A and B are shown apart, each in its own frame.
Chain A
Amino acid sequence: MRTKIQIISDTLLGIVDKVKPTFSEGGKLPWLHSTFDAFETFMFVPNTTTKKGSHIRDCVDCKRLLIIVVLALLPAFCFGTWNIGDQHSIAFGLDYGFWQKVGYGLLRIIPLFLVSYIVGLGIEFAGAQIKGEEVSEGYLVTGFLIPLIVPVDVPLWTLAIAVAFAVIIGKEVFGGSGMNIWNPALLARAFLFFSYPTKMSGDAVWTGGVSRYLSEGTCWFQGNGLVDGWSGATPLANATVQGFADQGITAWNLFLGNVGGAVGETSVIAILIGAVILIATGIASWKIMVSSVAGALAIGYIGYFTGVTDLPGWYQLLMGGFAFGTVFMATDPVTSAQTECGKWIYGFLIGALCVTIRLFNPGYPEGMMLAILFMNMFAPLIDHIVIEVSTKRYYKKFA
C-alpha cells in the first residue's frame, strides 16, 4: 500500500523528470539549468550517494541549518511588521487596530523582501550558471536579513543596488557563499549608509510613510498630517536619560521594541526567542553572543562611570541594532572567528567596539554594523593567533 505522500512524491518526481531534459545540456533552456536544479533540490533531496570516504552521512545539510536561521528570524520579522504599522499609526495620529497595523506593515515590508530576493537570488542563479555550480542556499538567510536591518522607508531602487553590490562584490567575487569575508547583509546596509546617507539616516526614514509625506505631502490612505511635535528619531539619536524622557521611552519599551528603528532590530524579546532557537540547535555560537554582551557592558559601564553618558551600561544592550547584530550577524558561521577561543575575543571586541562607536562618535550613533564588519575583517587574524598559541602550548606539554 502506498501512502498519499508517496503518491504525491512520485507524481511530482515524474513531472520533474519529464521537464528535466528541457533544462539540461542540449535542451531548449540550458541557461536555466542552475535555476531548475535549485528548485529540484529544494523539493527533493538529491539521490546522490557517497562515493569516497565515509559511506554513510548525517542527514543534516546546509538547507536545513539555514532554514532554521530563517525560523529564528521569524519572531523579529513578525514583531517588526506590527511595529511598522504601530509607528505609522502613532506618527499620523491614526487609530489603527491590530490587524490594520499588521496589514500596513505587510504592505510596506513585502516590497523590501521582493526586491531583496529577486535581485539577490537572480544574481546567485546567474553566478551559479556561469560557474557551472549548484546554487548555494546561503542567500536564503541573507535575503531575509536585509529587509530587517534597513529603514522601512528606504527607496526600493537603492535597496536593489545595495543588494547587488553585497552579492557581487561581497560574495561572488570571493567564490560564493562560504568564501566571503564580510557578512553580505551588513555589507548591503553599509553600502546604503555610505552611498545614500540622506535616505538612511535622519529622523524621517525610520517610520513608514514619513519620507513620502515630507516630499510629496501625501501619505497612506488618510491624508492626516504628522502629529504635532512628533519626532521620528530612533532612541539612539538622543540616547540620554533626558532624551528618553522627552520621547517617552522607557527601558521596557526598548525591550519590547515598540520604538522607531530598522524593521527587525527593535524588539529585544523577539530577538531573544531567535537566540534561544539558534543556541538550542547549535547553529550559532553562544560564546560569541555572551562575549559580545560582556564587551558592550564593559565599555557601557566605563562610559557611564567616566561620565561620557548618563545611561547605565545595560541600556546599550537594548538600544539600536546591538541585540539583532549580536544574535544574527556576529554569529554568522562563515565570517566569524572559527576557533573556540577566538570566538570569545571576536565577540568581546564586537560588543566593545559597538558601544565605543556609539559613545564617542556623535555623527553616527549606531555602531553595531561597523563593529561587526570591522571584526569580520580581523576574524582570520584572531584565528591565526589562537592557532599559533594553542598549538605551541599543546606540544610544549610533550617536549
Chain B
Amino acid sequence: MSNVIKLRKGLDLPLKGQAEKKVVTEIKPDIVAIKPTDFKGLTPKLTVKEGDSVKAGSPLFADKMHPDILFTSPVSGKVEKVIRGEKRKLLAVTVKADAEQKYENFKAGNPADLSAGQIKSLLLQSGLWASLIQRPYGIVANPDTTPKAVFVSGFNTAPNAADIEFTLGDQLEFIQAGIDAIAKVSGAKVHLSLCGKSFLEGCKNVEIHRFEGKHPAGNVGIQIHHISPIRKGETVWTVSPLMLAAIGKLLLNGKLDLSRLVALTGPDIPQNCYVKGIAGMKVKELGKLLWVWKADTRFVSGDALSGTSIGEDGFLGFRDDQFTFLLEGDYNEMFGWANPIRSKQFSASHAYFSWLCPRKRYKIDTNLHGGVRAFMFNTVYTDVLPMHIFPVHLCKACMAGDIDKMEKYGIYEVLPEDLATCEFVCPSKIEWQDTISKGIDLMLKEMV
C-alpha cells in the first residue's frame, strides 16, 4: 500500500446545492447532442446529414486529423439538426431519439480475450476513444502514440461534484473491464488515485495512490504532478471512472451505453438530486419534470469552477455527469467592497470574515465582484494550488505568448481546470482558465 500524499494547499468551495443521494427520475431522452466543442483541439468532419437515421453507436462526425477517431450518437433516431456557429464552425449535431432504442452491434468480449488491436478498433468505432484525454494539452488521445502511463482519478473534489461512490458504486465490474482494456491498449501502467475509503479499492491491474486534500486534489492533473510529472516530450492519458464504466459496458455487453446518473446541483433550485440521463441530454428536458426556471439562471454542464455555460437550450457534455445552476449576478452592490462584514458573500481571503464560519455554505452567484486589474497580490494563488509550479509566472508567460517561459513554468503539466481555484480567488479578476487555454492553443499550434 502506497503512502498517503497529503496536499495542504487548496480550497473547497462552500457552494450551496450539493445533490442529495437519491435518484428522482429517469429522463427519457428526446433530443440529444454531441458537441465537437467538448473535445479540445478537434477539427470535426461530418459523416451524416440532417434527416439521416442513426443507431446508438453510429458515427456522427470524425476527427479530420485522425479519421479513424469517430464520434458517435448516444441514442438511435434521426439526425435532427447540424448546428453551426461563426465561420460555419460545427457546434453540435443533434439527434431526435426514437421511442424504441436500437443499438449498433459491436463484437463484444472480455478484455482479457481480446488483443490490443481489437480493443483499440472497438473503442475507435464506438466513439469511446474520445473519452481518453491526452496530456499535455488535454486533447483527445492520439491512437498512434504510446503514453508513459494512464491516470484515473477515483474521487472528485470540484464544488458539489457527483459522488462517484453513489453514481458508479454498482458498476465496479464494468470499471474493472475498462481498466483492463485501457491497460492493454496503452501498453502502460494504469494509476488510480483514491481518497479515503472507496469502492474502487478492489480494482486490480492498477497501482493505487492515496491522496488527501482540498480541491483541486481530485483533479487528475494535480495527482499526475505528485505521482510522475509530465516532462517535455512525454505524454500520458487520463480517463474518468465514468468513461471507464462506459468502456466496460461496451466490451462486456457489445453496445454503446452512455447513460449515467447526473447530479443536479447549485443554489436556488427546488431539488438538488440525481436523475438518470445520458451524455448529450438536453437541459430543458429536466425542466418539464422538475421545476420552472427562474429567468436569470446560468446553465452549466460540469461544475461551477470549470464547467461550460451551455445556455437554456444546451446539452450535457460528453464526459460530464453534473449540471450546475447558478443565478446571474448582474446587480450593483452599494459599497460592497467597503462593507466590513458581507455575511452573504463567500471569500477565501481573510480580508472578510467567512473563514470564521467554515461550515457555512453560500449562495454564490456569477457576479465578478470587482473590476479587472493587473496582477497585484501575487501571493494569494500559491495557497490554493497544490503544485510545485509558479502560477503567476505561468499565467504571465501565457499572456505574453512566450513559449520558452511557458515550458519552463510547467505548461505541460496543467489544464485550465487545474488552475480554477487560482481564478476563483483572484482579487485582480483575471481570466486564468481562458489565459491558460489560449497558451495551450498556442503550444498546440507551434509544437504539434
Interface, chain A (partner B; CB < 8 A): 5, 8-9, 12-13, 41, 43-65, 67-68, 134, 136-138, 175-179, 280-283, 285, 333-334, 338-340, 383, 387, 390-391, 394-395, 398
Contact B334 A12 (CB under 8 A): yes
Contact B334 A53 (CB under 8 A): no
Minimum CB–CB distance for A196 against chain B, Å = 31
Other-chain contact of A56, B342, B366, B382 (Cβ < 8 Å) = B366
Other-chain contact of A54, B346, B389, B420 (Cβ < 8 Å) = B420
Query: Which residues in A have their C-beta under 8 angstroms from that of B335?
Result: 43-44
Known: A178-B428, A281-B349, A281-B350. A57 touches B379 (CB 8 A): no
Query: Which residues in B have their C-beta under 8 angstroms from that of A137?
Result: 373
Residue of B nearest to A50 (CB): B366
Residue of A nearest to B302 (CB): A55
Residue of A nearest to B436 (CB): A53
Minimum CB–CB distance for A77 against chain B, Å = 18
Contact B307 A49 (CB under 8 A): no
Query: Which residues in B have their C-beta under 8 angstroms from that of A334?
Result: 375-376, 378
Query: Which residues in A have their C-beta under 8 angstroms from that of B324?
Result: 55
Query: Which residues in A have their C-beta under 8 angstroms from that of B434?
Result: 52-53
Contact A49 B424 (CB under 8 A): no
Contact B305 A55 (CB under 8 A): yes
Known contacts A55-B366, A334-B376; 4 additional CB pairs below 8 A are: A55-B304, A55-B326, A59-B345, A339-B390
Question: Does B291 have its Cβ within 8 Å of any Cβ on chain A?
Answer: no
Minimum CB–CB distance for B48 against chain A, Å = 31
CB proximity to A under 8 Å, residues B353-392? 364-380, 382, 388-390, 392
Query: Which residues in A have their C-beta under 8 angstroms from that of B389?
Result: 391
Contact B374 A53 (CB under 8 A): no
Question: Does B337 have its Cβ within 8 Å of any Cβ on chain A?
Answer: yes
Contact A53 B432 (CB under 8 A): yes
Contact A61 B231 (CB under 8 A): no
Known: A49-B330, A395-B231. A56 touches B365 (CB 8 A): yes
A63, B368: Cα distance in complex, Å: 13
Known: A49-B329, A52-B434, A62-B428. A333 touches B351 (CB 8 A): no
CB proximity to A under 8 Å, residues B57-77? none
A55, B380: Cα distance in complex, Å: 19
Known: A59-B342, A59-B346, A334-B378. A54 touches B304 (CB 8 A): yes
A215, B240: Cα distance in complex, Å: 80
A301, B337: Cα distance in complex, Å: 45
Q: Which 9 A-B pairs have the closest CB atoms?
A: A61-B370, A178-B374, A53-B433, A45-B336, A59-B345, A44-B332, A9-B334, A45-B333, A60-B349
Question: Does B426 have its Cβ within 8 Å of any Cβ on chain A?
Answer: yes
Known: A48-B368, A387-B393. A62 touches B377 (CB 8 A): yes
Counting residue pairs across A and B whose Cβ atoms lie within 8 Å, the total is 208
CB proximity to A under 8 Å, residues B286-323? 298, 300, 304-307, 309
Query: Which residues in B have their C-beta under 8 angstroms from that of A333?
Result: 376-379
14 contacts between A and B (CB under 8 A): A9-B332, A41-B371, A44-B333, A49-B366, A49-B367, A55-B309, A57-B369, A58-B347, A60-B370, A64-B351, A137-B373, A333-B377, A333-B378, A340-B382
CB proximity to A under 8 Å, residues B404-422? 408-410, 416, 420
Query: Which residues in A have their C-beta under 8 angstroms from that of B326?
Result: 55-56
Question: Does B168 have its Cβ within 8 Å of any Cβ on chain A?
Answer: no
Contact A45 B388 (CB under 8 A): no
Residue of B nearest to A53 (CB): B433
A137, B364: Cα distance in complex, Å: 25
Contact B431 A47 (CB under 8 A): no
Minimum CB–CB distance for A324 against chain B, Å = 21
Minimum CB–CB distance for B294 against chain A, Å = 15
Known: A9-B334, A61-B369, A63-B337. A53 touches B306 (CB 8 A): yes
Contact B380 A282 (CB under 8 A): yes
Residue of A nearest to B372 (CB): A134
Per-position contact with A for B184-208: 1 when CB-CB < 8 Å, else 0?
A: 0000000000000000000000000
A339, B394: Cα distance in complex, Å: 13
Query: Which residues in A have their C-beta under 8 angstroms from that of B329?
Result: 47, 49
A6, B349: Cα distance in complex, Å: 27
Query: Which residues in A have their C-beta under 8 angstroms from that of B338?
Result: 63-64, 67
Contact B424 A57 (CB under 8 A): yes
Contact A178 B330 (CB under 8 A): no
Other-chain contact of B427, A5, A61, A175, A280 (Cβ < 8 Å) = A61
Other-chain contact of B374, A57, A136, A391 (Cβ < 8 Å) = A136
Contact B336 A59 (CB under 8 A): yes
Residue of B nearest to A44 (CB): B332
Query: Which residues in A have their C-beta under 8 angstroms from that of B423?
Result: 53-54, 57
